[in-house]
Structure 1
Amino acid sequence: MNAVIQSLLEFFAFDRTRRIGDVGLTDRKSLEAPAQPFFEAANRPAENYKIAYAGSLNGFAHISPRMDAALKTALELVSKNGGEVEEDCPDLPGLEKTFRTLRAMLWAALPGRAPDAIQKHYKPTLAKNIQQGRDLTVDDIYDAQLQRSKLFDTMHGFLGKYDVLACPTIGVESGPVEIEYPIMDNSDAHEDYISWLRYSFLSTATGLPSISIPVGFFDNGMPVGLQLIGRPRGEAALLSIARAIELVMGGPMKPIDPISKS
């Protein structure tokens, strides 16, 4: 059965309460309490877990050769210490448009409702985001919500084969702080300041739990980040797998000192 339909059936099932008195004990906005406290999961490394690695999310996002090599090196070490790693990724049609539509709607609804006295100080990129939200049609929003459900359904099925989907946190190495956003090697004239963050689109649009962990450093001292995307409501398992990988990589790693000593 389609996972979205199954979720709706479970939500509206008549047996959610056994008697009238139960209604007073039920917060309709809250999910059931997790079987395992997250703190325990975060301190209990997973064993025999299966990872799908998608370096570019099927070509959706750009990854530099150095980043790809660094992540594959880290995952090779993981595969020798309890994890099973395969390269795999589902098709993700409409992800870009879906994410950008929902994001634009949010920007128009929140910072776009601030008083003009505040909005006049917005930088051009934020003002542009707000206008994109105001330009949306009802059909744009409807289509995005529908496609969001389809993407969730796709990931629900895909994660039936794997415990997590692994991909870069970002596809390129960190750059100078003076540069607002990096220009990708394969960029075109339409590249903007959120294009380099495409790896965050999937978990954000689908509402899936995700976590990013350091798995090494480049020779210039900048960190290599690995993002793990888990199953729906699979936060405990995700934390447990992240903890296992953290230990394999010799972590937890110390924070980078933000103050240059040179």
Structure 2
Amino acid sequence: MAGDVSLTNMPAYEVVDLLNRGTVSPFDCLEALEARITAVDGAVNALPTLCFDRARDQARRLMQLPLGNRGRLAGLPVPIKDLTDVAGVRTTYGSTIFAEYIPETSDILVETIEAEGGVIYAKSNTPEFGAGGNTFNEVFGATLNPWNTRLSAAGSSGGAAVALATGTAWVAQGSDLGGSLRNPASFCGVVGLRPSPGRVASNPGAKIDRLLGVKGPMGRSVEDTALLLDAMTGESPADPVSLPRSEGFLAAARSGWRPARVAFSADLGITPVDPEVASICRTAAARFSEMGVVVEEAHPDLSKAHDTFQVMRGVAFATSYAGLLERHRDKMKPEVVWNIEKGLSYSIADLVRAENDRAAMLRQMNLFFDSYDLLLCPATIVAAYPVGERYVKECAGHTFTNYVEWLAIAYAITLTTSPALSLPCGFTNDGRPVGLQIVGRPRSDGRVLAGARALELILNLRSVTPIDPRSPT
């Protein structure tokens, strides 16, 4: 099957099975990906940096190990988001400040994936420093949505989502602070999971006890996403919030667990939502009833989410990038400059208020999950919008005050530390994908995956990708 592009249409878990049996080799997978990237990536710009020579070196090392002893991924190629360091590979963070930067060491996460048999072959595109829900930057340009290449792929893991949707990746690594795994998954018709904080160890950066930003998996199905999560998890002394490896998440996804009672909310009580998106998500959520699940409309009190997130995000940006702002203001996009300066302007009283309100939301979320097994809502409040618009400025008659407020339905969940997954659940009348956000109690990642897979089987949308990029006439 050397160079067989049809491999790229297969589920990741099936390819791993072939790798474990020796039916295909990691080299076969790399050849198939090279051919597919050549055929389609020029139209979407998902994987601007390739490192196939490095990937083949890793494949040779794996091939020296016996079959069955090559890790959970067994030689499956994986692209890494361009916010995450890979030793010897250009890593720009989407910024001209780091346009030619080549790190000497890899992030903990990359080391973990490679130890589990993942073969790194590409970096996926991201907005500058991962800021914003639209994947464009001054180094590589914009990543385009393959369902309609005039539209945004969302962000900040837009390159990862588009690679999955076009068949230039089987699984992909992303990250999420305000929805950066969930938003592009929703826009591109794939699955993105924001795991519980600490589930995936990574380099801490400037804020070592971070709970807002996490790294996580994406796939074309729930099972593929769970497969990559298994290869990403584990404790590291270098990451003080990292958790020990627990149950197998692919096994959890396949466990057959079903929720008894779920809640649906179109807006979590905090944001406008496009009526068509709300209707598609409500219809999808209601299909849980076909399994005998009670579906009710309800949500916890998240009314303080806007102020809390703005303060905590701003402080995080200031902590990470204030030094760069002093030296390189002229090289930073205006939204990043605004976010850093906003963070620097907050007082201790602002931070105390935000921390107290966040703690209250966490308590309310846990109380809510005493009554419901899962919370369902739209993953994004709109479907994909024109790529030339930097962010969503208006929805359902409401004008947003800044470039991240339109992401509230995702960042409200971020504040609670709950795991959350975007599952493809339907299409708008003009063919744009819509994702349903499935949320669980903190650290209930396995149940989120199991519930998502149960609904995925009913919705029967898991075979809609990969697609060739579609340019509107």
TM-score (norm: length of structure 2): 0.47
Displacement, 1:64?
1.7
Conserved? CA contact 1:64–1:172, under 8 Å: yes
Amino acid at match of 2:265: A
242, 260, 272: which one aligns with 1:49: 260
Instruction: Work out the percentage of aligned pairs sharing the same amino acid.
Output: 29
Conserved? CA contact 2:273–2:396, under 8 Å: no
Aligned pair 1:237/2:447, yes or no?
yes
Query: Counterpart of 1:223?
Result: 433
Give the gaps of 5 or more residues in structure 2: 1-235
Q: How do 1:16-165 and structure 2 match up within 5 A?
A: 29-31=241-243, 33-34=245-246, 36-58=247-269, 60-114=270-324, 116-165=326-375
Query: Counterpart of 1:194?
Result: 404
- Stretch deviating more after TM superposition (128-137 or 110-119): 110-119
Displacement, 1:126?
1.2
Give the gaps of 5 or more residues in structure 1: 1-25
SS in 1 for 2:395: coil
Query: Counterpart of 1:179?
Result: 389
Residues 259, 29 of structure 1: CA spacing in aligned structure 2 closer, same or farther, 3 A cutoff? closer
Residues 82, 46 of structure 1: CA spacing in aligned structure 2 closer, same or farther, 3 A cutoff? farther
- Stretch deviating more after TM superposition (224-233 or 76-85): 76-85
SS in 1 for 2:284: helix
Conserved? CA contact 1:81–1:248, under 8 Å: no
Paired with 1:100 and 1:217, the residues of 2 have a C-alpha distance of: 31
Conserved? CA contact 2:314–2:340, under 8 Å: yes
Conserved? CA contact 1:102–1:141, under 8 Å: yes
Query: Counterpart of 2:72?
Result: none
Paired with 1:140 and 1:253, the residues of 2 have a C-alpha distance of: 47
1:169-211 deviation per Cα after TM superposition (whole angstroms, max 9, x unaligned) = 11122211111222212224x5222121111122211211111
Conserved? CA contact 1:170–1:225, under 8 Å: yes
1:146-182 deviation per Cα after TM superposition (whole angstroms, max 9, x unaligned) = 1111100000000111111111111122211111222
Displacement, 1:117?
4.2
Paired with 1:118 and 1:82, the residues of 2 have a C-alpha distance of: 57
Paired positions, count: 234
1:72-110 deviation per Cα after TM superposition (whole angstroms, max 9, x unaligned) = 221222211343211011222321111110000011111
Paired with 1:61 and 1:115, the residues of 2 have a C-alpha distance of: 31
Conserved? CA contact 2:308–2:354, under 8 Å: yes
Amino acid at match of 1:109: T
SS in 2 for 1:110: helix
Conserved? CA contact 1:214–1:226, under 8 Å: yes
Q: How do 1:207-222 and structure 2 match up within 5 A?
A: 207-222=417-432
Conserved? CA contact 2:306–2:405, under 8 Å: no
Residues 254, 108 of structure 1: CA spacing in aligned structure 2 closer, same or farther, 3 A cutoff? same
Query: Counterpart of 2:459?
Result: 249
Displacement, 1:115?
5.9
Residues 131, 244 of structure 1: CA spacing in aligned structure 2 closer, same or farther, 3 A cutoff? same
SS in 2 for 1:114: helix
Amino acid at match of 2:268: L
Paired with 2:318 and 2:369, the residues of 1 have a C-alpha distance of: 33
Displacement, 1:30?
4.7
Conserved? CA contact 2:361–2:416, under 8 Å: yes
